[in-house]
Structure formats: C-alpha cells, structure tokens
C-alpha cells in the first residue's frame, strides 16, 4: 500500500458560507463547488467523465462518446482515461509489460475511493473553494490476469482537484516491493471543442514528434501552431514549454500545463477511423473533440523498491 500519513479525512463544516459537496455512489464520485463547477469520476478506471466550469457550471469541457460504456466492462471512450503502466500496444517481447493489453490495466480496473480534502472559504468569496478527490489502485486489487501479466507490488494514488475554471489530475506511483519495475503513464484527455476545423494548438514548436499516421518516424515541429485538417496521431517528446494551449476561432479555450511530464500526444481520429470505432458516437463526433494527452511515454520511468514518482497536469478552461 502507498504510505499516506496525510490521507484526507471527512470534512467538518467550519464556515457559514456554502461549501464544496461530494456525493459517492457504488460506481461514481461527484464533486461540486458552490459556484457551480463540478467533476464526475468513475471508480472504473478512475476515469473523469465530466468536468463543468464557467458561469453556474454549465460549460462541459470534456468530450464523452454517446456510446461510451460506463458499466465497467471495457475502457471508457472519452473523458480522461488513465493509461498505466504501458502506453499504446506493449512491446512484442522482452519487456515486463509485453503480456498486458494496449494502454495497460489502470483504465480497466476498479479503483478505491480514498477520500476528499478541500480548501474552503470562510466568508462570501466562494471562488476560493477547491475540492480534492483521491483514488487508489494497488497490486493486491488487480484481477488474476493482470496480476499474472505484471507481478509487481505497487501502489498508485490518483488525485483529482476541482477548482474555479481548473482541474488538476496527479498520479503518484510507488514501488511497494523489492524488485524494480519500469512503467509509462499518460492522461488520455478528450477536450470538448465546438469545431475542430477552427482550432489551433500552440506550445509544441521546437520539438520532435513521432507521426503514427504518416510513417511512424520522427519529425521536427517548426510551425508555431498546429491545425487539425485530417487524422492526427502524434507523440511530441521532451517538450521544453510547460504549457500546451488550444485556441478556437481565434480565442483562447484551454491551457494544459504539464507537471513532471515531458511528452504530449495529440490525437483526432477524423472521419474514417471514427466510423470504424463501435464506441465512438456520433460518427461525426470527431468535429467536437481534441485529445491533448500529457504523459511520460518516450522511454520508461524506473522505480526501485521503496521509490516513488509523481506527475500530472492542470487543465484550465479559459472561456
């Protein structure tokens, strides 16, 4: 288990003003701020399926397929799935993750809700409020199949913090055993946009990216911005800037700020691939989504026994 001496405990109301609220059901945790912002997290995969911000919390920032399966039988198409301990198809042989499914087991496993903590206002300024939800995944809770395929002792704590016009998602990975292991991690975020043809992505210039659509080879990113005009699946590596931004119709829409993560995947399936995915609905949903996925996927992170690693992102809605 991950040592958590400061594990969140139940919150006792200490202020007269409205305070953050958390609702827990058998399959989902929902948090809501007094100003209306909200987040919904499935226990299956610890997948964030909704993040609403803006005036009265009526702006949905994440894209979720109309055909997304939310009953725990398969990974969720949309929201923010957690990719761990391997990104993409695992190495064919010779690596500890070779027997795992694509994108690993975190998004296919049921996580434990560990609790909540909050920053609460003590007066009328409820915009100061934030709420943090912690979720845990441990080797002892894996299915027999996953445990056999990746027999390491580990603990992961995933923290989802909702603030005014922001959502922070952080992963803490700890090696609980004596044998070292390697891993990759990615936060597979599906941002919701109004029109993909009017979007531009900045903050990726001066980097090298692998183009999985073109030839799976490395290319240099020299343009100050990227527009989506067809299928795109690129892995941008060792990015110097901490922030990747999305503009829509010439206006700032999102900032995605990496924390101890150097790589970012940009993905949109476009027309034909969207039609070919049974859980991607509607077929033209590609027009309203853009994946900007922060991660550590170029090479491997390694943890020896007792060591830990932390990384994540802060997403800001700029409407």
- Catalytically active residues, by annotation: 188, 293
Asked if 78 and 40 count as a contact pair (C-beta separation under 8 A), the reply is no
User: If DSSP codes are grouped into helix, strand and coil, which group holds residue 80?
Assistant: strand
User: If DSSP codes are grouped into helix, strand and coil, which group holds residue 57?
Assistant: helix
List for the chain the helix, strand, coil content (%; round to 5).
10, 45, 45
Burial 200-210 (b: 16+ CB within 10 A, else e): bbbbbbebebb
**97 contact partners, CB below 8 Å, separation of at least 6:** 85, 86, 90, 91, 104, 150, 182, 183
Beta strands across the sheet bearing 48-53: 21-24, 28-32, 38-42, 48-53, 59-60
């Amino acid at each position: 288990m991950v040592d958590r001496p400061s594990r969140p405990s139940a919150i006792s109301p200490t202020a007269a003003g409205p305070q953050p609220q958390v609702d827990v059901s058998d399959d989902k945790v929902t948090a809501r701020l007094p100003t209306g912002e909200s987040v919904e997290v499935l226990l299956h995969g610890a997948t964030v399926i909704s993040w609403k911000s803006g005036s009265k919390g009526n702006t949905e920032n994440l894209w979720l397929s109309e055909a997304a399966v939310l009953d725990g039988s398969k990974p969720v198409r949309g929201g923010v799935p957690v990719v761990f301990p391997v990104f993409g198809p695992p190495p064919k042989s010779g690596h500890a993750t070779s027997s795992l499914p694509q994108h690993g087991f975190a998004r296919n496993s049921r996580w434990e809700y560990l609790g909540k903590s909050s920053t609460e206002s003590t007066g009328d300024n409820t915009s100061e409020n934030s709420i943090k939800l912690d979720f845990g995944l441990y080797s002892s809770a894996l299915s027999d199949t996953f445990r056999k395929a990746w027999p390491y002792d580990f603990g992961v704590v995933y923290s989802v913090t909702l603030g005014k016009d922001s959502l922070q998602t952080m992963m803490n990975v700890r090696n609980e055993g004596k044998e070292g292991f390697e891993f990759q991690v990615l936060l597979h975020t599906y941002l919701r946009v109004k029109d993909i043809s009017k979007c531009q992505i900045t903050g990726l210039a001066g980097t090298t990216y692998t183009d999985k659509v073109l030839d799976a080879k490395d290319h240099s990113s020299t343009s100050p911005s990227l527009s989506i005009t067809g299928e795109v699946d690129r892995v941008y590596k060792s990015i110097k800037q901490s922030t990747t931004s999305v503009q829509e119709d010439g206006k700032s829409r999102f900032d995605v700020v990496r924390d101890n993560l150097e790589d970012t995947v940009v993905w949109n399936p476009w027309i034909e691939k969207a039609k070919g995915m049974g859980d991607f609905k509607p077929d033209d949903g590609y027009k309203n989504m853009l994946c900007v996925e922060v991660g550590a996927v170029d090479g491997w992170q390694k943890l020896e026994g007792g060591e830990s690693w932390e990384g994540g992102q802060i997403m800001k809605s700029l409407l």
